[in-house]
Amino acid sequence: MQLFHQGLKDLLNLDRYLPDKKLEFLSIETTLPPWLKNFTRAIPIYAIGLNLRREYRHIAMGLRALKFKDNHAIFVFEAYNQHFLFLLPLLALTKKEIFIMLHGNQQFAMNSKIKYLGLLYLKIYLKSLERFKALLLEIDDDILPPKVQLPERAKIVIPHPCRSDYLPNLKPGERLSSDTKIKIGIVGIIRADKPIGKLIKKIQEYQTKTEQNCELIIGTPKKQKPAYLDKLGIELRDTTTEKDYIRVLQEIDILVIHYDRDRYYYRTSGVISDAASCGCYIVASDYPLIKHQITYPVTIGSTFTDFEELETILDKAIDSVLTNGQDNHWLWREKRTAKYIASLLVA
């Protein structure tokens, strides 16, 4: 099965640890028929074509759910609030237990009327059908405004899974030599909700001041790379393919990432999870879910609220990398495996 967020694919192994509850999985990454692709791409307004394709994918998920036979429950990986209208009744018709994983759905509902209405529609199903459960990543939603909180009975909180296909470079107890050049990385697609201009400037300022032996590396897809990066004298890595992306995460020692608060206050980060799975020390924005990502069950990074904190935090990060290696990353993985998450679904 193809997933939009590849870092969640370990959840496809949940079935192994639920002997009494056979799961089937649904993803919006459904192949579109050529006629629909051509038709929607011919529409002058991009957003209309995009939403028509997404609506088709959601309906396709619901219809596929009706074809499942010998299973007890259905796990829905991704779904958009504004496309619940037909998906939810189709899922209800299956008469099976439904797990719907939410990733930023409540965050987005706070800033969009149509997404808020979609969330209200989901809440109707969660309140009226005991078979429907919402899976929240990392922490409960009680820190959010009551209007976007979900019914208490219908919520299950699970950690964002680690990746079993990639491991930290250092084994427990292994350490880098004291003269190793520490590689600080900014990795991912550079979008408006991931503003990095100020981040780059602060890290470069840190490099000129510090006695630490370090370098900055930026990894981003080549075709989406802003032109100004070529003028900064920074090591650039192409992360167009999944293989290239992971190679960069395995190369760096510290990941530094900053997100727009309006989009990531209550939303986990796939890049952070991937980097942590590879053994990176994480320096990230101080938002509740992200903070929990890097402190549960043990601490593997630090958060910041102001760019002026970065100098002190990077000193701490480099000291941790040299002193502690990646020991905590091995402990961090223990409560983020499919086996552990499966135990939460039946608790």
pLDDT of residue 329: 98
pLDDT of residue 100: 97
Q: What is the pLDDT along the chain (347 residues), one digit of tens a residue?
A: 788 788 899 999 999 999 888 999 999 998 899 999 999 999 999 999 999 999 999 999 999 999 999 889 999 998 999 999 999 999 999 999 999 999 899 999 999 999 999 999 999 999 999 999 999 999 999 999 999 999 999 999 999 999 999 999 999 999 999 889 999 999 877 765 566 778 888 998 999 888 889 999 999 888 877 777 777 778 888 999 999 999 999 999 999 999 888 889 999 999 999 999 999 999 999 999 999 999 999 999 999 999 999 999 999 999 999 999 999 999 999 999 999 999 999 86
Rounded CA gap, 194 and 284, in Å?
11
User: What is the enclosing helix (H) or strand (E) of 197?
Assistant: helix 197-209
Question: Could you tell me if residue 203 is inside a domain?
Answer: yes
Q: Which domain holds residue 296?
A: 182-333
Question: Could you tell me if residue 344 is inside a domain?
Answer: no
pLDDT digit string (tens) for 139-157?
Answer: 999 999 999 999 999 999 9
CATH code of 292's domain:
3.40.50.2000
Strand partners, 99: 75, 133
If asked whether residues 235 and 312 sit together in one domain, one would say yes
pLDDT of residue 228: 74
Question: Could you tell me if residue 240 is inside a domain?
Answer: yes
Q: In sequence order, what DSSP letters do the residues of 204-256 get, joined into one string?
A: HHHHHH--S-EEEEEEE-GGG--GGGGGTT-EEEE--SHHHHHHHHHH-SEEE
- Indicate whether this model's pTM tops 0.95: no
Rounded CA gap, 147 and 110, in Å?
9
Neighbouring C-beta atoms of residue 125, cutoff 10 Å: 20
The DSSP code for 193 is T
If asked whether residues 111 and 198 sit together in one domain, one would say no
If asked whether residues 125 and 195 sit together in one domain, one would say no
Q: Which amino acid is at 28?
A: I
Residue of 281, 273, 264 whose CA lies nearest to 322:
281
Question: Could you tell me if residue 345 is inside a domain?
Answer: no
If asked whether residues 25 and 153 sit together in one domain, one would say yes
pLDDT of residue 181: 94
Contact 3, 9 (CB under 8 A): yes
Number of domains comprising the chain: 2
pLDDT digit string (tens) for 190-240?
Answer: 765 566 778 888 998 999 888 889 999 999 888 877 777 777 778 888 999
Residue of 267, 304, 263 whose CA lies nearest to 138:
267
